Structure 1
Amino acid sequence: MSQIEKVLYTGKTHTTGGRDGKARSEDGRLDVQLSSPGSAGAGTNPEQLFAAGWSACFIGAMGLAAKKMKVELPANVAVDAEVDLGTGGGAYFLQARLNVHLPGLERQVAEALAEAAHQTCPYSKATRGNIDVVINVV
């Protein structure tokens, strides 16, 4: 396991009530009501928050890869993240798909950028070997 040598940022939140509660960041920039997936609640859920964070990080990692490859990342780059919550063998699990949109780039270049990002994105590293992940260049 890799060790952090220098902490760049620490996200801090305080959550109460679990999946049907509330989460607020220390600085107040994040203040969300939580609801269980599929419920009638008005809030978001941990899977949506994870999908949003991972896709944002993944786009940043593609930007770094593009600079190294001397490729211009399209202005309208997007990642549609899908995080599934499911069960198997009586336990809960996650699985994910990242659908990467790199309009205007040749497919080979787009796939190379997505693969490079998947190797460097901290969220991808954290999930590697722990959950099923599929990266699709669409």
Structure 2
Amino acid sequence: MKKNLYTADASAIGGRSGRVRSATGTIDMEMSVPEGLGGKKNATNPEELFAAGYASCFQQALLVIAQKAGDTLDKESKVQCSVTLFQEGEGYGLSAVLDVDLKKFDEAKTIEMVRQAHVICPYSVGTRGNMEVELRVMGKAIPVKAEENAGVAGE
């Protein structure tokens, strides 16, 4: 049974050359196309905001996985998320790379925790089957099973 926990509200005016503002006012930022595509400096873009949200959400999923195992994450553990905007034919799309460094765990344990986090992270669940997500541990790509990127986990 679905139980709504929280709803975030934000609005945009002017698209990629406008402004975004959250209902709480915490986010109130000028937007621009990426600087490398001719945009302004000191403005953000949807891809940066998506990358920040995904990195934060994935880190939280890792914290939950660690806690369930009776463990904790190193305070310096890090999730780096890179979001790429691409054009394919007439359409546009996104892909993401999540690179995780948990510091205190060996590679095998980190890989297992990353796989588990990818199953429960709301961003991973929301993107599954809709965009390519590459998982890495300290820069090294880890194999992603087809079912981990297609449909809802467990279906």
Smaller-chain TM-score range? Answer: over 0.9
The question of 1:111 aligning with 2:108 is answered no
5+ residue gaps in structure 2? 139-155
SS in 2 for 1:130: coil
Alignment of 1:1-138 (within 5 A): 5-37=2-34, 38=36, 39-41=38-40, 42-138=42-138
Aligned equivalents of 1:134, 1:69: Cα separation in 2: 24
Aligned equivalents of 1:11, 1:83: Cα separation in 2: 21
Higher relative contact order (CA 8 A, sep 6+): 1
Superimposed CA distance per residue, residues 115-135 of structure 1 (whole angstroms, 9 cap, x where no aligned partner) = 111000000001111111101
Once structures 1 and 2 are overlaid, which stretch shifts more, 34-43 or 46-55? 34-43
**What code does the residue aligned with 1:119 have?**
V
Aligned equivalents of 1:98, 1:5: Cα separation in 2: 27
Could you tell me how far 1:98 is from its partner in structure 2? Answer: 0.4
Q: Are the equivalent residues in 1 in contact too, given 2:73–2:104 (CA < 8 A)? A: no
Provide the TM-score with structure 1 as the length reference. 0.93
> How many residues are paired up?
135
Provide the TM-score with structure 2 as the length reference. 0.83
SS in 1 for 2:5: coil
**What code does the residue aligned with 1:30 have?**
I
Q: Matched residues, percent identical?
A: 39
SS in 1 for 2:4: coil
Superimposed CA distance per residue, residues 4-60 of structure 1 (whole angstroms, 9 cap, x where no aligned partner) = 722211110111000111001111111010010123413100000000001000000
Could you tell me how far 1:65 is from its partner in structure 2? Answer: 0.4
